[in-house]
Amino acid sequence: MRIFARLFEALYALTRGVNTVAGIFAVICFGAMLLVVLLQVVARYVFAAPPFWTEELARWLMVWGGMIGATVAFHTHTDPSLVTPRPDSQARTAIRAVARAVAAWGFFLPVLLYSYPFVLRQVGRTSEGLGISTAFMSVALPVACVIICLHAVSGIGILFSARVRAREAATLTEIVTAEPA
């Protein structure tokens, strides 16, 4: 049991680090998207000559920011859910962690399996505005799926590790206290 506890503590620490990097990346994507759209608006209405690449770059940044932002929401339990259990119930929290893992893997595993041929089809295509392979945008989906599945597995650590259980309980407490009454 202690081996599982250490394994899940390490995995949970890894996913916390991945979550931090993902959060920074999503913020950078959305900040860059804002600047690109601002450039496009100013160039269109002030100079009457918008750059041809701004709309496409903004779309790519939105896709990447949204997909990676979804992984952050999943890790921090701010993703849409039907029921938010009270953190004082260890049994409900454990059931929720297992249910989230099963649901995530059940949904994202087929998406991952079908995304491989989809990304391969995109390799030979280039975008009109940026002139780079559309596979770079398409790969956002499998990357997000892998990260969410990793977060889901690490969440099961509450069954084996008191440290992971305490961190998850703290996260759920933040969500419950932040929800409007």
The stretch 119-144 carries a mean pLDDT of: 91
pLDDT of 88 = 61
Q: Does the structure show a pLDDT above 60 at 181?
A: no
- Expressed as residue numbers, the domain containing 148 is 2-178
Q: Looking at the DSSP assignment, which residues form a beta bridge with residue 133?
A: 126
**CB atoms inside a 10 Å sphere around CB 159:** 17
Task: Read off the amino acid at residue 112.
Answer: L
List Cβ neighbours of 86 (8 Å cut-off, separation of 6 or more): 92, 172, 176
Work out the widest C-alpha separation in the chain, in whole angstroms: 67
Q: Is 141 helix (H, G, I), strand (E, B) or coil?
A: helix
Label residue 120 by pLDDT band (50, 70, 90): very high
pLDDT value of residue 34: 97
pLDDT in tens, 52-91: 899 999 999 999 999 999 999 998 887 776 555 565 677 7
Cα–Cα distance, 169 to 56 (Å, whole number): 41
pLDDT band at residue 7, thresholds of 50, 70 and 90? Answer: confident
Give the angle 134-140-142 at the CA atoms, nearest 5°.
115
How many structural domains are present in the chain?
Answer: 1
Q: Is there a contact between 30 and 65 (Cβ–Cβ < 8 Å)? A: yes
CA distance 144 to 137: 12
Are 88 and 94 contacting, i.e. CB atoms less than 8 angstroms apart?
no
pLDDT in tens, 93-115: 778 888 889 999 999 999 999 99
